[in-house]
Every structure is written in C-alpha cells, then in structure tokens.
DNA sequence: ACTGGGTAAACAG
DNA sequence: CTGTTTACCCAGT
C-alpha cells in the first residue's frame, strides 16, 4: 500500500546515516521517509516559506530522529497527523509509543494489549502501514518465537536499530544478506 | 524442524 | 458481500 504522498510539506532531516525526509500535514508530522526512498518530489522551502508551526515541529522531529538513531531515548515528539488511519491502526501505533527504549514486544502482545487477542497478524499489517517508523517504534515489535518480523524500510534498518538498543538478533533470513 | 489450521483486519471487485 | 493477502501464533506431528 502506497504511503500518502499527496500535497504536503516535505523537509529534509540530515543525520549521520543519511538524509531522511519528514512530511507534514495540517495536524502535524504525517510521515518519515528513510534515505534512498525514491519517488519523492522533495520540496525544501527556504526558512521563511515554512509556516512557523511546521518549523517548530520540524525542530522536534530532527532532534527525535537523531536521538533515536543514536539509540537514545526520544524526549519529545511533534504532534502526529494520523488522519486517514483506521481506529485499529491508531490503537496499535499508540501502543507502540509506550514501548520503552531497549524493550521489545511480540505482535501477539500488542494485540492483547489493545484488546484484540488473536489479532497478531493484523497488528503486523498495521505496523507495515505505519507511516512514521523509527519515531513510532515498530522496529521494537518482533515475532513471538524469535523471528524478526518485517520492516517497511528494510530489515537491515530494523537490525541496526535493535542492535543499537542492546538486542542480539538472530533470524534465518539474515544469513542471506 | 516442519505443517496446517486459526485468527483479525484491510482491500479489491 | 466474498475472496485474497498479511511484518503472526500455536498445537500437533
């Protein structure tokens, strides 16, 4: 499913790991794009062009992304624009935000937590639809039996992030890399 | 280790 | 509405 790429303000997020991009809607941060994702018409307005609110949000986003990449805790997030998401997706993503740095949950645990035991698979689908990976930490959700699950920006990123947060990962698929 | 059925949700038609 | 697809789970071989 394509991520929303309609009318939005897109600003660059420079990091030591490459240039991410952040997309903003009226209500706040709408999506994060990882380095190298194609198909983006990147608009980098001069400072004066961006509304003041977006400038403030973007400052928070940049700080949060850089901190998250360093394995540190994320202190503050800009408001998140989840318009267009289903109720189920919002419940899943809200649950992800409660996972402390350095901990992981299984898809089934998240399902139970939001009151839909047995919806583990649907939780996986909601994670895949998460437009704000890294800050809405879907990389902290793994399969119950030691598997990795997936990651929209690529499993290599998931492994890097988890390793940085102190987890040792083993997954058969990694041998292929 | 492998298999099969169960499961909830989103989506196309 | 039905059929298809999912970043899953668990109890059986």
Q: How many Å apart are A87 CA and C11 C1'?
A: 32
Q: Which residue is nearest to nucleotide C8 (CA to C1')?
A: A121
Protein-contacted positions of strand C (CB under 7 Å): 6-10
Give the nucleotide with minimal C1' distance to the Cα of A118.
Answer: B7
Task: Give yes or no for a contact between A92 and A85, defined as CB atoms under 8 angstroms apart.
Answer: no
In this prediction, residue A51 carries a pLDDT of 85
Write out chain A in H/E/C secondary structure. Answer: CCCCCCCCEEEEEEECCEEEEEEECCCCEEEEECCCCCCCCCCCCCCCCCCHHHHHHHHHHHHHHHHHHCCCCCCCCCCECCCCCCHHHHHHHHHHHCCCCCCCEEHHHHHHHCCCCCCHHHHHHHHHCCCCCCCCCHHHEECCCCCCCCCCCCHHHHHHHHHHCCCCCCCHHHHHC
According to the model, what pLDDT value does residue A175 have? 44
What's the confidence (pLDDT) of residue A48?
52
**Residues around strand C, C-beta < 7 Å:** A 106-108, 120-125, 127-128, 130, 133, 138-139, 141, 143-145, 147, 149-152
| Active-site residue, from A54, A114, A138, A141 | A138
pLDDT band at A5 (very low <50, low <70, confident <90, very high): very low
Separation of A47 CA and B12 C1' (Å): 43
| Average pLDDT of the residues in A63-80 | 93
pLDDT at A52 over 70: yes
Cα-Cα-Cα-Cα dihedral sign, residues A138, A170, A100, A105: positive
Chain B bases near protein Cβ (<7 Å) = 6-11
The predicted-structure confidence for A6-38, as pLDDT tens digits, reads as follows 457 899 999 999 999 999 999 999 999 999 875
Q: Is the pLDDT of residue A151 over 90?
A: yes
Give which of A161, A142, A127 is closest to A1, Cα–Cα: A127
> Is the pLDDT confidence value at A110 over 50?
yes
Identify protein residues whose C-beta is within 7 angstroms of any atom in strand B. A 1, 86-89, 116, 118-122, 125-126, 129
Q: Which nucleotide is nearest to A151 (CA to C1')?
A: C7
Q: What residues pair up with A20 in beta bridges, in sequence order? A: A13
A124 pLDDT above the threshold of 70: yes
Average pLDDT over residues A137-142: 96
Does A5 participate in catalysis according to the annotation?
no
């Amino acid at each position: 499913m394509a991520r929303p790429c309609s009318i939005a303000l897109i600003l660059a997020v420079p990091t030591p790991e490459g240039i991410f991009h952040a997309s903003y809607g009226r209500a706040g941060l709408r999506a994060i794009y990882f380095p190298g994702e194609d198909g983006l018409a990147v608009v980098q307005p001069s400072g004066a062009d961006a509304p003041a609110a977006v400038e403030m949000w973007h400052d928070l986003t940049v700080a949060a992304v850089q901190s998250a990449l360093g394995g540190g805790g994320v202190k503050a997030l800009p408001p998140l624009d989840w318009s267009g998401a289903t109720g189920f997706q919002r419940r899943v993503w809200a649950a992800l935000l409660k996972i402390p740095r350095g901990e992981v949950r299984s898809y089934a645990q998240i399902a139970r937590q939001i009151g839909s035991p047995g919806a583990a698979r649907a939780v996986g689908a909601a994670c895949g639809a998460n437009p704000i990976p890294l800050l809405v930490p879907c990389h902290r959700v793994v399969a119950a039996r030691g598997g990795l699950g997936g990651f929209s920006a690529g499993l290599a990123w998931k492994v890097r992030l988890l390793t940085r947060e102190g987890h040792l990962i083993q997954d058969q698929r990694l041998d292929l890399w």
